[in-house]
Amino acid sequence: MPSAEKVRWFNRAIRRFFVRLARRNGWRKGEWGAAWSGEFGPGNTNLHAHAVFCGPWIEQRGRQASALWSAVVGEFAIVWVKAAKSFRHALRHAIKYPAASWKYFSASPERLASLEKAFYMVKRFHTVGAFYNPPSDVRVPPTILEPYDKCPTCGSRLEDVAVPRWFSLDELMRMGSRDYGEWKREQRLLGREIAPVGPGPPSTVWIELNR
């Protein structure tokens, strides 16, 4: 089992990873925030972390985030990024290990002792970015992540869907949705230049960082 100092080093590495990721992508202060908790898998010594991240989408087509994470820890490592249903869902996933009593009730005394030793005097929940040192006054309105109510490309109104699912074309038409391909063809016929699609609206994802 990794020592408590190794767990502290791991948490510092995660903080460096998010800070470097923000600098590389040019994210301004207040545009992103992350929170995480370190954990071990059942019965093994695989130290990893689950994190909730709010901010611009983290592109992973070329494993850029994994490459950066590998550079931070000095060895091959993997970052998994998955869109969350909601902030509450992502936060619950990030802190489920410290709150999962079943992992302790089903563990042997030896396993409980090794976990206690690994996390002795170690902070369990960590934040960075806009989540770090937030305003203590609950009356202060949140300033992180400006709301997006329009498409950044065509300007059409965005619909907030409570439960993500597949929609039929009839449902989409009744909601007032537009065909993006048709809109692009209209713009070309009118001789208008279509601006490239940017990173899109802020997203909430949960992230797993492995070594």
pLDDT digits (tens, 9 = 90+) for 62-102: 888 899 999 999 999 888 888 887 888 888 888 877 655 55
User: Across all residues in the chain, what is the average pLDDT?
Assistant: 79
For residue 126, give Cα distances in angstroms to 33, 57, 100, 197, 202.
Answer: 11, 21, 18, 33, 21
Judge if pTM exceeds 0.85. Answer: no
Phi then psi for residue 74, to 5 deg, are 80, 20
Other beta carbons within 10 Å of 36: 27
Would you kindly state where each structural domain of the chain is located, as residue ranges? 4-134+201-210
pLDDT of residue 15: 93
Q: In whole angstroms, how large is the CA radius of gyration of the chain?
A: 21
Task: Give per-residue pLDDT as tens, 108-164.
Answer: 888 888 888 888 888 888 999 888 877 666 666 555 444 556 676 777 777 767 666
Q: Does the pLDDT value for residue 12 go beyond 90? A: yes
The average pLDDT across 188-200 equals 66
pLDDT of residue 101: 53
Percent of the chain with pLDDT over 90: 17
Residue 187, CA atoms < 13 Å, CB-side half-sphere: 13
